[in-house]
Amino acid sequence: MTEYQTGYQALGSFYDEDNDSPPVENIIHVVQDSHKSRWNHIENLDEFFTRVYQYHQRSGFACMAVADALQLIQFLFVVLFSVFLMNCVKYDVLFGDKVYDTTHKVTIPEAVVPFDQCVHSLPPILVICLIVAGAFWALRLIKVIYNVSKYYEIRCFYMTALKLSVDDMANMTWHEVQTCMRNVQKELQMCIHKSDLTELDIYHRILRFKNYEIAMVNKSLLSLKYRVPFIGEYAFLSTGLKYNLEMILFWGPYAPFESYWHLKPDFKNIHKRKDLADELSKKIMWYGVINLVLSPLIFLWQILYSFFRYAEVLKREPNLLGARRWSLYARLYLRHYNELDHEFDARLNRGHKCASRYMSIFTSPMIVVIAKFVAFFAGSILAVLVILTVIDEDVLAVEHVLSTMTILGVVVAICKSMIPDENMVWCPETLMTNVLAQVHYIPDSWKGNAHTFKVRDEFAQVFQYKAVYLLEELLSPLITPLVLLCDIRHKAQDIVDFYRNFTVEVTGVGDVCSFAQMDVRKHGNPQWVEEGETQANQKQQGEDGKTELSLMHFHLTNPEWKPPADCSLFLNNIKTNVQKDALAMTTLQAMQTDNPLVNSLHSMSSMGGGYNSIVCSVLQPNLAAGGVDRANLASVMSPPISVTHQGAALGSSMRNAQPRLRGGVSKTEGPLQGSGGGMLTSVNDQVTVSQIPGGSSIYASAIGSPTGGSPLVASNVNIKHNEGALEMLSTEMSFSALYMHGLHNRRLHGGQYESLDDYHARRIWQRQDSSNMPSILETNEHSNQGQADQGQGHPGQSHLGQSHQGQRNLGQSHQGHAEISQGHNRLTQDQIQPSQDEYFQTQTYQGQGQRPQLQLPLLKSNTVEDPDQEPTFIPPHLEPLESINFVPNSEDTSSRLTKSS
């Protein structure tokens, strides 16, 4: 690994003569308020700030203390109850194999071995397990007592220094608590090396080790991917392996850090790299051996704990194992630098629904056939047993009848979860883009290939079944020693080099991972930044845009933070690019050419909720400046968006919001009032006051006016603490991620960006049961006749009906095209304002032989007042092929169609 030269700064002592804070002032401060003097010069600020954060997120002292105490009781219960079941129950009496007394029913005392006999009959192996469990429980008890004392100390800090009570926790965001801490720092000097603490200083203290983990995964130092026979490449990271890695690398007795905030000096010396690597390799080997020796006990604990935790839940909800969750590997791969837990969880939670829908697209026909077969037979037997039970409840007294019914019910539920809805239609590329908008990271190889099983299998590594997660946790005691001994131990040299090359010392913070500084010049990726913005080589650059996206995220969640000059230059260049694309977005023709902003807005419009209205508030003013009306605005959007009613509806809901949100905001990202400096605002800044009535901003445009007419001026609406502003932060980051990925794609293609036709062609509609459907072309190819008829139409607009006579006459020459099934109301633009769940896109169906190509046309308005005027197009339907009913669903973020027979 290439050496990364870094200048280390020596931290000044509190008693140095050059210290900025005069000793006399500190003494006076302590005398003035003896209750606050305990917070002056806190030795371990990492632990202190982490506990302050946990105190806020876990709802105060009482909740934290009770939770820790109950965990102790839970551990004790699992151990003792397991011993009781294995050694103190007379199962022959309980099951009736041994006749105990025929005069009455068997009682519990008769089926249980007396306590003294049970204790004396314990086998040696159980005695050893109890001794080990007792020692572990005693250590946990000591740790809980210590933690509770620290919790009380943090409680005093909140009440004395921050002047915040427990009741304020649910009503305050972390950003507000952090602001209070920064103000208190000026008075109390918790950190003596600098008078003011920045937001980044606090994040570095809380996430020091987490940032190292993220960087190691991003640079593939901890790839955690292994070749498994018959499976292929598999990403494995269990709770046990993660715990061992953190103990080895960060806080264990032989870890490279001599304290929470300082790396051992030897690790900064290149001449000792060989000795340190050998020593670290031996320590990792001993950790692996210890795990191997303790693996039987840990494996037994995993089985018992999993049984007690999930057995009853699986009985009630058998489909729980078929649900999905983000893997532990994903929680490192998808995480930004300097991103707190609640911020990261909020991102993953928003992406969970569309990720689940994406994975549900892919089904195995063989599994579906077998599941239908098994469900039929199991359901038939279960139905007969249920009917017999209803007729005579004595049927339940027959041996194994109740257990048979339970097993059959579980089998039927599992089989039903494997059978997809035959009427569901999904667009994999759109769903993958929706996932990208929330989680912000996908490999370049996934883009445009979301419909392939290869991408599906790779995505399953980060979004796994809960059954797979449970299996990993059960096998973790056996696999973790092998990973430590056979993989991690051989990377000791790379780990030592990584610490030396990518560690910098920050005044007032200590040693931190240099990637966490989010310095674009040192760690920017040339494919993600403008030319000349970075000096990083292949080994110094961040991968997958980690540095750039992390910087944008931190900038939005901490708007008061002042980034360094290089970071500011990068952020300003991104906003400049957005503004240039916004200026070019004044005609319909420009919206269908090389414009990453348009593609980002197209992707956002498919995400549902208020995203359509936000996109409208961006597009409508810009296009209005170029003479494009609202109707034509709907024609270029895919999915089509409502430019008339949705903004007013969203505005109504926002205006009805309370002026101040109360409760449930402790998990909110960033400030309640939003960042106000994101790229959506940059787009709106390009539209002059004369172009937007009232000179409103993006936020006001999204809210609308009280009468549903023109947008309000931002000052006329208090949006600082309503739900609209609360969601704007996540919207800003989603848009930023999509746009930055768009710029990255353009750089990958040498400045060439796909046209809107190609963009639409990539959004291939996938039907889960597509055996009766024509094949869908994946590229937007036209016949020679269609190209000859293109005439004066703009390139890429043939799918809008401007180059095909059959599409231009649609709705005028075919009477049935403008009707839905047996209905008598025609579909006009005023009657159809589809939501995000009611659209699908134009594709070309190609038959065989000389059959003409069928187009899924975009419907044209029934009434055209001016024959010379281009017709106004509204969303398409498939009436020529079969009758289609739109089924709106406000919860879906993708399109759904149902067939009517």
| Residue whose C-alpha is closest to residue 505's, from 261, 143, 843, 284 | 261
Distances from the Cα of 446 to the Cα of 413, 463, 513, 544, angstroms: 33, 15, 29, 12
- How far apart CA 590 and CA 603 sit, in angstroms, is 17
Q: What is the DSSP string of 525-537?
A: -TTTS-TTS----
Query: What is the C-alpha R_g of the chain?
Result: 32
| Residue whose C-alpha is closest to residue 165's, from 269, 77, 60 | 60
Helix axis angle, 723-748 to 341-361, nearest 10°: 60
Give the position of tokens 């000591």.
142
Buried b (16+ CB within 10 A) or exposed e, 395-421: beeeeeeeeebeebbbbbbbbeebebe
* 235 backbone φψ class: left, alpha, beta (φ>0; ψ -120 to 50): beta
Give the position of tokens 């607009």.
797
- Report CA 786 to chain centroid distance, whole Å: 43
- How far apart CA 606 and CA 639 sit, in angstroms, is 6
Beta carbons within 10 angstroms of residue 583's beta carbon: 15
Residues near 557 by Cβ (< 8 Å), separated by ≥ 6?
175, 343, 669, 670, 675, 729
| Residue whose C-alpha is closest to residue 428's, from 496, 360, 478 | 360
Grouping H, G, I as helix, E, B as strand and the rest as coil, residue 234 is strand
- Report CA 369 to chain centroid distance, whole Å: 33
Taking the chain (901 residues) in runs of 10, the rounded mean pLDDT of each run is: 41 36 38 62 91 93 94 92 90 76 75 88 89 92 95 93 86 91 89 88 95 95 89 92 95 88 92 93 95 92 87 74 90 95 93 91 86 92 91 82 87 84 80 92 90 91 92 94 94 95 92 94 92 89 94 92 92 86 65 67 68 66 54 49 40 41 70 67 52 38 34 34 57 88 84 53 46 38 41 39 40 39 38 38 38 37 40 37 38 39 33
- How far apart CA 560 and CA 198 sit, in angstroms, is 9
Residues near 624 by Cβ (< 8 Å), separated by ≥ 6?
691
Taking a C-beta distance cutoff of 8 angstroms, is the pair 324, 359 a contact?
yes
Q: What DSSP designation does 880 have?
A: T
What's residue 219's pLDDT?
94
| Residue whose C-alpha is closest to residue 600's, from 426, 725, 744, 747 | 744
| Residue whose C-alpha is closest to residue 498's, from 64, 844, 59, 2 | 2
Residue 766 forms beta bridges with which residues?
426
Give the position of tokens 């998808």.
334
| Residue whose C-alpha is closest to residue 796's, from 750, 761, 821 | 761
Q: Is the dihedral of CA 331, 336, 340, 346 positive or negative?
A: negative
Q: What is the DSSP string of 291-313?
A: HHHHHHHHHHHHHHHHHHHHHHH
Taking a C-beta distance cutoff of 8 angstroms, is the pair 2, 498 a contact?
no
Residues near 103 by Cβ (< 8 Å), separated by ≥ 6?
none
Q: What DSSP designation does 267 have?
A: G
Alpha helices in 362-491 (DSSP H): 365-391, 401-418, 428-439, 453-462, 466-486
Buried b (16+ CB within 10 A) or exposed e, 804-821: beebbebbeeeeebbbbe
What's residue 417's pLDDT?
79
Residue 510 forms beta bridges with which residues?
506
First to last CA, the chain: 65
Largest CA distance in the chain: 100
Q: Which amino acid is at 133?
A: A
- How far apart CA 470 and CA 727 sit, in angstroms, is 34
Q: Provide the token pair at 794.
A: 């703009």
What stretch of H or E contains 498?
helix 492-501
Give the position of tokens 């790779």.
458
Residues near 121 by Cβ (< 8 Å), separated by ≥ 6?
87, 113
- Vertex 767 angle, CA 766 and 768, to 5°: 115
Taking a C-beta distance cutoff of 8 angstroms, is the pair 778, 763 a contact?
no
- Residue 755 has, within 13 A of its CA and on its CB side, a CA count of 14
What's residue 380's pLDDT?
93
Distances from the Cα of 598 to the Cα of 559, 574, 636, 755, 778, angstroms: 26, 15, 10, 10, 21
Taking a C-beta distance cutoff of 8 angstroms, is the pair 438, 347 a contact?
yes
What's residue 65's pLDDT?
95
What are the DSSP E strand ranges found in 163-258? Answer: 225-228, 232-235
Q: Provide the token pair at 488.
A: 């991690």
What's residue 239's pLDDT?
94
Distances from the Cα of 597 to the Cα of 134, 359, 593, 602, 747, angstroms: 61, 28, 11, 9, 15
Q: Which amino acid is at 524?
A: G
Q: What is the total residue count of the chain?
A: 901
